[in-house]
């Protein structure tokens, strides 16, 4: 009998297939004592297992490239954390086996993270995955992970570690559903980059029996269990119509009455560029430069290495716009040479621009590298700072850009509510704004983007968040400057229309979402988008906002 479940849709498309569950987590190793003379051998076993897992994560990152590479390299750094390894050695020295010492050391670190505030608690899933991989290697059992199957399937998991999401084969994994996670989690972002339909934050997903036929709608978040033939035909027909509409949509982003809305791509590095070009991106709205710095947490990459990487991206968009975000380190992206190790709450501490202003040499080298990478290229380079709080921050960044001789527009990201509330003041120092809706939602609602339990508050349809977008766009319009959105909110086609109606001047997203957004914008006039935006802001909940906008655009 057909039943319907609802989670949070995070990646467009329809998937119909049988359920396959993620490999089970590693069992807890037995607690047995070893003779003192075996301690050195066990310590060596532990170190070799850690090195092998770190190397595997880095290799997976190299294969995946882009955003996935940065995430996996951060996981590899986690595996090799010196304090963790010192704890493992201590436990072995007093009689633990290598696998038990790893298990217990990670458990202690896990408890610290879980109790250190929601931002760090969101890294627990990544930590668990690293622990499971090391313990599995030590026990000589298969790695937990994506099931081995010759037939396409829908993957079900409690949560998906970045190492698994990054290398999903879309030919086999038709879509995935997780019990945890949120719309801006690493897995959600990587799913959109892969173009795999996905639904997260679905309680009870793990109870779906192996082999059960389900239909997944990655746009609405609906899961149909044992769908009828009529429902399957309906979903397949809708998917075919959507595919045809996407194929017919091409060219620059614009509303049906010709109001231009440039559609740009979010990229993590050169590996993401081909997909962006293929999707018809009009440039890059967010070039995340962290991936280059995560290669080595001990020191910043050389200016020459940075120039080479930046130029590869800039060359791909002749006459196009490329917006580069300078290094955004701290919180869930710590770097030994840049971020403090003992902050009680890194999400509210020295991260983003604050870190760079404390280390002006790192910022100066990056700005110089960007300047040299753009020399001789017909690209419109724009450079922006993350985590700008006020006009003082904006001025410090603009001054640093000028001192570096950078021939580009300087901008500020709006990720902190204070920046939206005082956007007009910030625009006295910089030439454009870019709204990072993921962090803006996180800080507005005190809701960690990695925690599924608060996914309701991470929903970019929240009216309070739309109010902050409108404030920023209005300020930019008053100053005759631009205000784009580069957060994941831009990847929702319906919300893209609302953002346009709020006055946003460009939209940047994962390449896979560009055709969907282009096709949706082309169906409506600017006036319709403005009325949909007003209707959404007049509501009190995210769901009401979505339904109100939908009603306006459908003519109800």
Q: What CA–CA distance (Å, rounded) separates 119 from 445?
A: 13
Q: What CA–CA distance (Å, rounded) separates 134 from 81?
A: 13
Residues whose CB falls within 8 Å of the CB of residue 89, separated by 6 or more in sequence, listed in order: 43, 46, 101
Catalytically annotated residue among 186, 359, 401, 497? 186
Encode burial over 271-284: b for 16+ CB neighbours within 10 A, e otherwise: bbbebbeebbbbbb
**486 is annotated as an active-site residue:** yes
Strands 283-288 and 321-325: parallel
Q: How distant is the alpha carbon of residue 197 from its chain centre?
A: 16
Sign (positive or negative) of CA dihedral 194, 199, 200, 204 = negative
Catalytically annotated residue among 401, 486, 497, 529? 486
Q: How distant is the alpha carbon of residue 331 from its chain centre?
A: 14
Q: What CA–CA distance (Å, rounded) separates 509 from 492?
A: 9
Q: What CA–CA distance (Å, rounded) separates 109 from 101?
A: 12
Q: Are the beta carbons of 215 and 16 closer than 8 angstroms?
A: yes
Q: Where are the beta strands (DSSP E) in 91-169?
A: 153-157
Structure tokens at 25: 């987590």
Strands 409-414 and 380-385: parallel
Q: Give the single-character DSSP code of 342.
A: -
Q: Which H/E stretch holds residue 225? A: strand 222-225
Residue 352, class by beta-carbon neighbours within 10 Å (0-12 exposed, 13-18 middle, 19+ buried)?
Answer: buried
Maximum Cα interatomic distance, the chain, rounded to a whole number of Å: 79
Q: Give the single-character DSSP code of 379.
A: -
Q: Are the beta carbons of 382 and 412 closer than 8 angstroms?
A: no
Which H, E and C letters describe 410-430, residue by residue?
A: EEEEECCHHHHHCHHHHCCCC
The DSSP annotation for 279-316 comes to TT-SEEEEEE-HHHHTT-TTSPPPHHHHHHHHHHHHHT
Q: Which positions are annotated as active-site residues?
A: 186, 486
């Amino acid at each position: 009998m057909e039943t319907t479940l609802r989670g949070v849709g995070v990646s467009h498309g329809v998937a119909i297939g049988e359920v396959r569950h993620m490999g089970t987590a590693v069992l807890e190793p037995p607690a047995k004592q070893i003779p003192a003379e075996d301690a050195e051998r066990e310590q060596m076993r532990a170190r070799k297992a850690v090195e092998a897992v770190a190397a595997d994560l880095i290799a997976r990152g190299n294969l995946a490239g882009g955003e996935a590479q940065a995430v996996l390299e951060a996981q590899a750094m986690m595996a090799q954390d010196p304090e963790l390894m010192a704890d493992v050695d201590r436990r072995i020295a007093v009689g633990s086996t290598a696998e038990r010492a790893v298990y217990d050391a990670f458990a202690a670190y896990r408890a610290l993270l879980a109790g250190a505030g929601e931002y760090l608690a969101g890294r627990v899933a990544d930590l668990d995955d690293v622990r499971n991989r090391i313990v599995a290697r030590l026990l000589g059992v298969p790695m937990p992970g994506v099931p081995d199957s010759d037939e396409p399937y829908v993957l079900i998991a409690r949560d998906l570690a970045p190492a698994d999401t990054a290398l999903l084969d879309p030919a086999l994994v038709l879509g995935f559903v997780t019990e945890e996670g949120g719309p801006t989690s690493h897995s959600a972002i990587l799913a959109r980059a892969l173009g795999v339909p996905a639904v997260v934050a679905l309680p009870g997903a793990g109870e779906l029996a192996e082999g059960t036929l389900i239909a997944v709608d990655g746009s609405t978040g609906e899961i149909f269990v044992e769908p009828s033939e009529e429902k399957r035909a309906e979903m397949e027909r809708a998917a075919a119509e959507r595919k045809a509409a996407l194929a017919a949509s091409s060219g620059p982003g614009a509303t049906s009455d010709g109001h231009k809305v440039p559609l740009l791509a979010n990229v993590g590095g050169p590996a993401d560029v081909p997909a962006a070009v293929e999707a018809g991106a009009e440039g890059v709205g967010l070039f995340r430069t962290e991936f280059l710095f995560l290669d080595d947490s001990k020191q910043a990459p050389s200016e020459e290495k940075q120039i080479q990487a930046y130029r590869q991206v800039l060359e791909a968009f002749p006459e196009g716009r490329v917006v580069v975000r300078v290094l955004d380190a701290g919180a869930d992206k710590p770097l030994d040479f840049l971020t403090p190790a003992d902050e009680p709450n890194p999400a509210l501490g020295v991260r983003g621009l604050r870190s760079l202003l404390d280390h002006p040499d790192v910022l100066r080298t990056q700005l110089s590298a960007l300047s040299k990478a753009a020399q001789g290229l017909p690209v419109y380079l724009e450079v922006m700072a993350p985590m700008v709080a006020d006009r003082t921050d904006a001025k410090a960044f603009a001054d640093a850009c000028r001192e570096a001789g950078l021939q580009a527009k300087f901008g500020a990201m709006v990720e902190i509510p204070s920046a939206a509330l005082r956007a007009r003041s910030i625009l006295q120092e910089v030439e454009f704004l870019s709204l990072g809706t993921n962090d803006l939602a996180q800080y507005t609602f005190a809701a960690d983007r990695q925690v599924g339990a608060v996914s309701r508050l991470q929903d970019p349809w929240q009216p309070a968040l739309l109010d902050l977008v409108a404030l920023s766009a209005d300020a930019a319009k008053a100053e005759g400057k631009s205000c784009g959105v580069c957060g994941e909110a831009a990847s929702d086609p319906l919300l893209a229309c609302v953002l346009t109606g709020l006055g946003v001047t460009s939209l940047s997203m994962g390449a896979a979402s560009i055709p969907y957004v282009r096709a949706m914008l082309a169906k409506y006039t600017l006036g319709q988008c403005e009325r949909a935006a007003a209707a959404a802001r007049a509501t009190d909940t995210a769901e009401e906002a979505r339904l109100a906008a939908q009603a306006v655009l459908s003519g109800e």
